[in-house]
Every structure is written in C-alpha cells, then in structure tokens.
Amino acid sequence: MVEQSDVEQAEGTGVHVRIRGKELALAISEEHAAALKSLTERIVREPFTKRPWSELAFFLVSGGLAGIGIAFIGLTMVTGVALAVTFFGLSLLGLSLRSARGMGGWQRGLARSMLGQPVEDPEPFVGRRGFLGWLQSALRDRVGWRAVAYFAVQVPWTILGVFVAVSLWWDAFACLTGPIFDRGGGGLAVWGLVRGIFPGSPFWFQPGGFFHAVGVFILGAIFFFAAPWVTRGFVTVDRLLIRGLLGPDPMAARVRTLEQARTQTVDASAATLRRIERDLHDGTQAQLVALAMRLGMAKEKLEDTDHVDLDRVRELVDAAHRGAKEAITELRDIARGIHPPALDIGLEGALATLAARSAVPTEVSFDLRARPTPAIEAIAYFCVAELLANVAQHAQASRASVSCAQQGTWLRLVVRDDGRGGAELSRVGSSASGLAGLTDRVHAVDGRLHVVSPPGGPTVVTVDLPLSP
C-alpha cells in the first residue's frame, strides 16, 4: 500500500512517500515532474473539451446507423448465402454487398465530419454491362466484402462500446449529483456498473450515510474523468477499423502504384527510343547520306575519263572518309547509351570505368556478394553515370566517392561529393534525362532515391535498389 503524504514539492524535484512506516524520498526528475503535471492537467481538462463529446456523439450516431445497416445487410446476406445456389440468392447477395459499400460511405462521412479523420474513398464501383455483368462485378467487389467485414466487427463492438460509455457517463452524472439530490432512503439513481460494484455494502455505506454520499461523489468524479478516455478507446478501435476496412484497398493501392510505375517505365522507354531515333536521324543517318553523296559525286567525276579533276576527287574522298569516321564514333556513342558495354564485365568494373572517366577524382568502393539482375545493374550504372556527370557539371567539387554495397536485400549506392551543395531533386537534373529521369527509373523497380545537399555541401545522393524483385 502506498500512501502519499506531505507531498513536499521542493522545486518540484522530490516527493516523500511513506510506505508501511518507512519514509522514502523519491527523487523525480524535473522532466518527469513536468510530464506528470501536464498529464494531470490533461485528465482534468479533458471532460470540458469538445473532443470527448463529439466522439460520444459519433459513437451514438454511427451505432444507430450501423444498427439500421446491419439489419438490412445481415438479412440480405444471410438470405443470400442461404439461397446462394439460386439466382435470386446471388442477386440478393450482390445487393447486400452494394449496400454495404454504400453504408461504408456513410461511416467514412461520419468519421470525416465528426472525428475530423480523413479517410480516402476506395476505388469506385465499376459494374460491367448488363445485369449479369453488374452482378458479377458486385460479387467480386473487394470493397463491398471489406465493408461487410467492417460491419460484422463494428456492430457488436459499437453495441458494447455504447453500453460501457453511456453507463460511465450516466453513472458519473448520477454519482456526482446523487449527494445533492439524494433525499435519503436509497433513492440514488445508480445504474449500470455501480450496481455491480456495490452489491452488498457495509452499513455505513448504506444509502443515506455520510460515507456513502462522499464515496459516491468520489466514484462519480473518477467516472467523470475516466469516461472520455474509455470512450476514446472504443472510438479509436472503430477508427482503425474504418481506416483498415473502409479506406482504399491496400491491394488496389499497390496495383495502382505498380500501374503508375509501369506507365513511367513505358514513358521512359518511349522517350529513350525517341531520343535514340533522333540521334540516329540527325546524326548518323545524315552523316551517311552526306557520305554517299560525296562518294556519288567522286564516282561521277572519275567516270568522265577525258579530264579527271583529281584534286576535286581527292577532296571529296577526303571529306567522305572524315564523315565515315565521324559516323562510326556517333554510332558507338549511341550504342553505349542503349547498353553500356562496360556492364558486360560486371558492375564493379563498369563503375570503376565511370569513375576513371569522371572529370572529378572519384573513389569507388564495392561490396556485393552476388551479381544483381541485369536490369538492376543497368539502373545502378546509369544512376552513377548521371550523378557523376552532375557532380562534374554543377557541384564544383574537388573529390567524389561512389560506394556500392549490399544492405540486407537492398543494393545501396551512395554518391558523395565535397562540392558547394544546394542540389535539389527538381534542379539537379534539368531534363527528363537528368535526375527526374533517374527517379522514374528507380521507382519503376520499387527503389528509392534520396538527396541530401545543404548549401555549402557536401552532397550525398543515396539510391536503394531491391536485389530480389
């Protein structure tokens, strides 16, 4: 038994406690004392704030609505399942699921307006053509089934919750006002829980006694301050249920993310193809046409056997020769942009080549146990190539480092430079081929890209790529 006595709050740091005659000085740090104080204040204030009352109101309204809802859903669901072998049963089941979905909407609306909890709407129902199509879509509607699951849990929970919360509030009210209105003779309107707590009270606790009145008042106070928290406990569970079962389907959200990633990948590859086509069209193809043209002219000049202008022919062949060499160089650059040949010898060698080619002195550390898939290798390679190009162009750095290491099931690339910093995701790469393009590529394989670049540097870009897809 702990009795608190002589609470001397000397600068709020110590409490003397007497336990079974022994005096103990409990030292409480100021931090804890402050926390204790604010907690006490919070408990005392809570019943006088708006929140517990709107939570109680939410509970009552949503409980009432759910009561009506479950009566309908339950009836149609049970009948539908019972008659599931018949067409009528299936139709009833479809109707039930559609209603559950609709009523889920009410619940979300209530949570939004009364609890201020934003719950995203799930993906809308899309029925296929015709009644059979509609029925098929309705029976397969995950949102509908999840709403049924919600109501199956929420209704009993709300009934229990409403009973407990209302009892508490009512008892609090009854106990606090009891001593005032109690005219003696057992007229105390104690209801619910209190009856259970005091079945056979000792004599001085009998209605009408002084202790009885004081005890009831204290009990009322405890109920009064506890009621908001108990209500909140019940409401919180309901909130979690709403978020988990009435919000967007996590599976559907995942599908959507994947779809987005796929679109980005498709866009990125379309853009890459366009760029390659443009490079070929403007560069190599034009070079080759000009080359063929010069050789054609030279050929014609040589055919005129009477007076061959050898100087002119030499000039033309010279120009054609130059053009051929330029075309070869251009083709090589374009091919390297499609698939870096350096990757054929492995990522480590490829990164070392990149570092050696970089204008800023760059160190590479490499620690991977197994070779990643070609796709991951290529993304890692292009990330490092782009990031090192950025370092050379924008960072004004004197040194850079690249590290490539395994972290669990992730490949972690860190590119660091000692430059002036201030790089931002949107600004580092100015075009789609810059950092934005990298981010798309990295997201496409569910990876992450993270930039830390305070003004004055250093800049650290971290890229995480999954090793096992």
Partner 1 sequence: MVGALRVAIAEDSAILRDGLVQLLVDRGFTITGAVGDPEALRSSVAQNPPDVAVIDIRMPPTFTDEGLRLALDLRDRHEGLGILLFSQYIETRYAAELLADDAAGIGYLLKDRVADVSDFVEALERVAIGGTALDPEVVTQLLGATRRTDTLSVLTPREREVLALMAEGRSNAAIASALVVSEGAVEKHVANIFAKLNLPVSENDHRRVLAVLRFLES
Residues at the site binding partner 1, with contacts judged by CB under 8 A = 278, 281-282, 285-287, 289-290, 292-297, 299-300, 323
Q: What's the CA angle centered on 243, arms 237 and 246, to 5 degrees?
A: 115
The least CB distance from residue 307 to partner 1, in Å, is: 15
Residue 383's contacts (CB-CB under 8 Å, 6 or more residues apart) are: 413, 415, 438, 441, 442, 449, 463
The least CB distance from residue 366 to partner 1, in Å, is: 42
- HSE-up of 320 (CA within 13 Å, CB side)? 16
Q: Which is nearer to partner 1, 144 or 323 (CB)?
A: 323
Q: Which is nearer to partner 1, 259 or 309 (CB)?
A: 309
Peptide bond into 458 cis (omega under 30): yes
The least CB distance from residue 436 to partner 1, in Å, is: 22
The least CB distance from residue 287 to partner 1, in Å, is: 6
The least CB distance from residue 337 to partner 1, in Å, is: 19
Q: Which two tokens stand for residue 219?
A: 């009990």
The least CB distance from residue 98 to partner 1, in Å, is: 49
Alpha carbons 469 and 376: distance in angstroms, whole number: 9
How far from chain centre, in Å, is Cα 271? 29
The least CB distance from residue 298 to partner 1, in Å, is: 10
Alpha carbons 66 and 105: distance in angstroms, whole number: 12
Contact 443, 264 (CB under 8 A): yes
Quickly list DSSP for 32-57: HHHHHHHHHHHHHHGGGSSHHHHHHH
Compute CA distances 363 → 11, 238, 414, 417, 465, whole Å: 57, 55, 11, 10, 21
Contact 30, 9 (CB under 8 A): no
Q: Which is nearer to partner 1, 333 or 363 (CB)?
A: 333
Among candidate residues 311, 170, 302, 261, the one with its CA nearest the CA of residue 445: 261
Alpha carbons 410 and 401: distance in angstroms, whole number: 19
DSSP H helices, 304-407, are 310-338, 347-357, 374-390
Q: Which is nearer to partner 1, 42 or 299 (CB)?
A: 299
The least CB distance from residue 277 to partner 1, in Å, is: 10
The least CB distance from residue 300 to partner 1, in Å, is: 5
Residue 275's contacts (CB-CB under 8 Å, 6 or more residues apart) are: 337, 433
- The residue type of 26 is L
Q: Which is nearer to partner 1, 248 or 283 (CB)?
A: 283
Q: Which is nearer to partner 1, 282 or 446 (CB)?
A: 282
Q: Which is nearer to partner 1, 123 or 326 (CB)?
A: 326
Q: Which is nearer to partner 1, 282 or 363 (CB)?
A: 282
Q: Which is nearer to partner 1, 326 or 348 (CB)?
A: 326
The least CB distance from residue 283 to partner 1, in Å, is: 9
Q: Which is nearer to partner 1, 256 or 274 (CB)?
A: 274
The least CB distance from residue 302 to partner 1, in Å, is: 12
Q: Which is nearer to partner 1, 323 or 419 (CB)?
A: 323
Compute CA distances 312 → 35, 155, 290, whole Å: 95, 96, 16
Compute CA distances 9 → 5, 23, 40, whole Å: 11, 15, 15
CB atoms within 10 A of CB 72: 14
The least CB distance from residue 336 to partner 1, in Å, is: 22
The residue written with tokens 């796929």 in the block is 262
Q: Which is nearer to partner 1, 290 or 352 (CB)?
A: 290
Q: Which two tokens stand for residue 324?
A: 């051929």
